[in-house]
Amino acid sequence: MRYKALVQRILKEMIRDKRTLLLMMVAPLFILTLMHVVFDHETDTQLVVGYRQVPDSLIEQFPDTVTLTAFTTDTSAKKLIEQHQLDAFIETTGTKLTVTYENADPNKSKQLAGLLPSLLMSSAMQNLPRTNELPHYTITNQYVYGNDDSDFFDTLFPILIGFFVFFFVFLISGISLLRERTKKTLERLLATPVKRSEIIFGYMTGYGLFAIVQTILIVLYATYILDLTIAGELIWVFVINLLIALVALSMGLFVSTFASSEFQMMQFIPLVVIPQIFFAGIIPIDTMANWVQTVGKFLPLTYAGDALTSVMFKGQGFDTIAGDLGMLMLFALLFTLANILGLRKYRKV
């Protein structure tokens, strides 16, 4: 009987809590739909390759999954890759074939590197009846970003740093303000002459300091323990993560106003945090449908992931990440203003 009574009580509580019930039933469907949309692109990765002074017999061997563009200028391979967003650039000098990989996506570099030997063999066999000899090319590989040891984790690492900072700061800040409300601490605080803006900036400063320590710990651990290379300047890594923390703080405080318990605060994670990881750079955004790319522009981790990848993996500086920094500052400002306005409903005097 006691077992039956316990089951009945749990069922009644769950039925009364419409938000929890909705989360259990709808959130998994939402995430599955999002994953389907994000991953719904062609199985064969499309490569964009430029070339100069490469025999036609080799060019003819490339499959349809490779888009080829011919160049005749003396511009360096690196500049051509950056200007025309190429995945690689191929040029020949005598029997030397030089391949310069952008290597922003090591998987694409490895795909092309594995493809070239078979293409060269097919090209040589095509020429054999005419030349009665098998041309031999010496392949030299160069990389704009990273090196031949770069793998998927090297590009994933910057994104994970940003995500960890965002996730934990969002969760802790939201639950902390919620606890202040449930214990009536916020109500007593608002009864004093303190300004709403001072409360919000106080929270953001306090938790922002812990976010800085968290960032320093993660970066130092990755650099000296995991032996991961950070190509750019560390100062920009800290600046980006500080902005991510400010955005997470302001979003966490804002979202907490819609929750009445810590459990309800946790319910926002599948709806607010998890979807953003798909747009942070784990999946190349340019492979997604246009309307999905548009959705990504309204999510802060899209800009955070791009900025951290540019600095940590590509070694780029302020000129490249200025736009991303501006967007993160804009997100932080908008949610901070929303928090200041949102505190009105808790002020009793």
In the listed set 120, 143, 166, which residue is the last one of a domain according to the structure?
A: 143
Average pLDDT estimate for 257-267 = 76
Q: Has residue 53 been placed in a domain?
A: yes
Average pLDDT estimate for 77-85 = 88
Q: What band does 324 get if pLDDT is binned at 50, 70 and 90?
A: very high
Query: Residue 248: which of 320, 144, 335 has the closest Cα?
Result: 335
pLDDT digits (tens, 9 = 90+) for 267-308: 788 778 888 888 887 777 776 777 778 888 889 999 999 999
In the chain, at which residue ranges do the beta strands (DSSP E only) sit?
47-52, 66-70, 88-93, 96-101, 138-143
Q: Has residue 205 been placed in a domain?
A: yes
pLDDT score, position 126: 62
Under DSSP, the state recorded for 258 is T
Q: The tokens of 315 are what?
A: 């070694």
Cα separation, 163 vs 230, in Å, equals 17
pLDDT score, position 322: 93
Rounded to the nearest 10 degrees, the angle between the axes of helix 318-342 and helix 196-224 is 140
Q: Give the gyration radius of the chain's Cα atoms.
A: 26
Q: Which of 7-16, 115-124, 275-284 shows the lowest per-residue confidence on average (mean pLDDT)?
A: 7-16
Q: What band does 4 get if pLDDT is binned at 50, 70 and 90?
A: low
pLDDT score, position 132: 43
Other CB atoms within 10 Å distance of the CB of residue 120: 19
Cα separation, 87 vs 106, in Å, equals 10
pLDDT score, position 19: 65
Judge whether 324 and 184 are in contact, CB under 8 Å. Answer: no
Q: The tokens of 343 are what?
A: 């505190």
Query: Residue 202: which of 271, 155, 255, 253 has the closest Cα?
Result: 253
* Number of helical (H) and strand (E) elements in the chain, helices listed first: 14, 5
Residue 263 has pLDDT above 90, yes or no: no
Cα separation, 256 vs 320, in Å, equals 34
Both 205 and 128 in one domain: the answer is no
Q: The tokens of 190 are what?
A: 């608002």
pLDDT digits (tens, 9 = 90+) for 90-118: 998 877 888 999 888 888 888 888 888 88
Percentage of the chain exceeding pLDDT 90: 10
Q: Has residue 255 been placed in a domain?
A: yes
Q: What band does 349 get if pLDDT is binned at 50, 70 and 90?
A: very low
Both 101 and 191 in one domain: the answer is no
Q: Distances in Å between the alpha carbon of 204 and those of 18, 182, 183?
A: 32, 20, 20
pTM over 0.75: no
Both 156 and 124 in one domain: the answer is no
Query: Per mean pLDDT, which of 72-81, 137-146, 198-207 is the most reliable?
Result: 72-81
Q: Has residue 20 been placed in a domain?
A: no
Q: What are phi and psi of 71, to 5 degrees?
A: -130, 145
Rounded to the nearest 10 degrees, the angle between the axes of helix 106-131 and helix 152-182 is 160
In the listed set 109, 143, 177, which residue is the last one of a domain according to the structure?
A: 143
- Residue range(s) defining the domain that contains residue 336: 152-346
3-state secondary structure of 3: helix
In the listed set 103, 118, 143, which residue is the last one of a domain according to the structure?
A: 143
Q: Has residue 179 been placed in a domain?
A: yes
Q: The tokens of 79 are what?
A: 């500049």
pLDDT score, position 321: 92
Which distant-in-sequence residues (6+ apart) come within 8 Å of 205 by Cβ? none
Cα separation, 294 vs 284, in Å, equals 14
Q: Has residue 11 been placed in a domain?
A: no
Q: The tokens of 197 are what?
A: 């803006």
pLDDT score, position 221: 78
* More confident of the two residues 223 and 24: 223
Both 332 and 199 in one domain: the answer is yes
Q: Which of 125-129, 134-138, 245-249, 305-309 shows the lowest per-residue confidence on average (mean pLDDT)?
A: 125-129
Both 250 and 288 in one domain: the answer is yes
For residue 97, what is the domain's CATH number?
3.40.1710.10
Beta bridge partners of 130: none
pLDDT score, position 253: 81
Calculate the CA dihedral of residues 175, 176, 177, 183 and round it to 10 degrees. Answer: 100
Which distant-in-sequence residues (6+ apart) come within 8 Å of 68 by Cβ? 49, 50, 51, 59, 62
Residue 237 has pLDDT above 60, yes or no: yes
pLDDT digits (tens, 9 = 90+) for 179-200: 777 776 666 666 667 676 777 7
Question: Which pairing describes strands 66-70 and 96-101: parallel, antiparallel, or unpaired?
Answer: unpaired
Both 138 and 159 in one domain: the answer is no
Both 139 and 277 in one domain: the answer is no
Both 138 and 156 in one domain: the answer is no
Q: Has residue 177 been placed in a domain?
A: yes
Please give the tally of structural domains in the chain: 2
Q: Which of 45-54, 75-84, 201-210, 335-344 shows the lowest per-residue confidence on average (mean pLDDT)?
A: 201-210
pLDDT score, position 219: 73
Judge whether 273 and 251 are in contact, CB under 8 Å. Answer: no
Both 136 and 157 in one domain: the answer is no
Both 82 and 181 in one domain: the answer is no
Residue 15 has pLDDT above 80, yes or no: no
Query: Residue 332: which of 229, 207, 189, 237 has the closest Cα?
Result: 207
Both 122 and 211 in one domain: the answer is no
Q: Has residue 24 been placed in a domain?
A: no
Both 130 and 157 in one domain: the answer is no
